[in-house]
Amino acid sequence: MPRRYDPERRQRIIDAAIRVVGEKGIAGLSHRTVAAEADVPLGSTTYHFATLDDLLVAALYQANEGFAGVLDASGVLADAHGDLAAGLARILGEWLGGDRPGVELEYELYLAALRRPALRPVAAQWTEETAARLAEHTDPVTARALLALMDGICLQVLLTGGSYDEEYARGVLARVIP
């Protein structure tokens, strides 16, 4: 029987892995659970991703696009003379108020780098790229501080189940910006 040409299979596997992690956490991720979710043969997952870490790396790359997309769509970084603190606070509110399970998943994958060294370069790359984008509007040290503060605010909201307070975020972000 000839092989079926399926150019979207790799992407379907990544999407399935993201859904599995979203539903069952990283502990529930296996080649078998992903294959079942993607409706592909088990061998397809191991063909495209030799290890689960390889699959998690691809999933984290894709998940990292979530906040970057919100940041790009906002136009905040395109406005050189705008109120950066207010703009970033608004973006955080839009991101946290949008696809909350998607935000939680993005952080789950991002924080998985604590235990999975293969994910660290992806997490570091996201941090470097986002800090560089912020540094276009402030100095590099402030950009890193803003990124750390935004991560902290998001994690507090996600971990406590609390609501996001945009005015609070604007105020603390403004304290960091010279």
> Does an H or E element contain 101, and which?
helix 100-111
> Does an H or E element contain 144, and which?
helix 140-160
- pLDDT over 70 (residue 1): no
Q: Tell me the per-residue pLDDT of 122-131, one tens digit each, with 9 for 90 and over.
A: 999 999 999 9
Band of pLDDT at residue 2, cut at 50, 70 and 90: very low
On whether the CB atoms of residues 69 and 77 are closer than 8 A, the answer is no
Q: What Cα–Cα distance (Å) separates residue 163 from each residue in 8, 48, 87, 90, 144?
A: 38, 40, 18, 14, 24
pTM as predicted = 0.83
Between residues 162 and 164, the one the model is more confident about: 164
Q: Tell me the per-residue pLDDT of 12-60, one tens digit each, with 9 for 90 and over.
A: 999 999 999 989 989 999 999 999 999 999 999 999 999 999 999 999 8
As a 3-state breakdown, the chain gives helix, strand, coil percent values, each rounded to 5, of 80, 0, 20
DSSP track, 64-97: HHHHHHHHHHH-GGG-TTS-HHHHHHHHHHHHHH
Average pLDDT over every residue of 1-20: 81
What type of residue is 116?
R
52 Cβ contact list (under 8 Å, min separation 6): 29, 30, 31
Average pLDDT over every residue of 95-111: 86
- pLDDT over 60 (residue 101): yes
Between residues 70 and 158, the one the model is more confident about: 158
How many of the other CB atoms lie within 10 Å of CB of 9? 17
Domains of the chain: 1-50 (1.10.10.60), 66-176 (1.10.357.10)
- pLDDT over 70 (residue 5): no
Q: Which phi-psi region, left, alpha or beta, contains residue 79 (left: φ > 0; alpha: ψ -120 to 50)?
A: beta
Band of pLDDT at residue 168, cut at 50, 70 and 90: very high
In this structure, what token pair is assigned to residue 16?
């399935």
pLDDT at 4: 65
Average pLDDT over every residue of 59-75: 83
Mean pLDDT of the chain: 90
How many of the other CB atoms lie within 10 Å of CB of 59? 31
User: Closest Cα to residue 33, out of 61, 3, 55, 11?
Assistant: 55
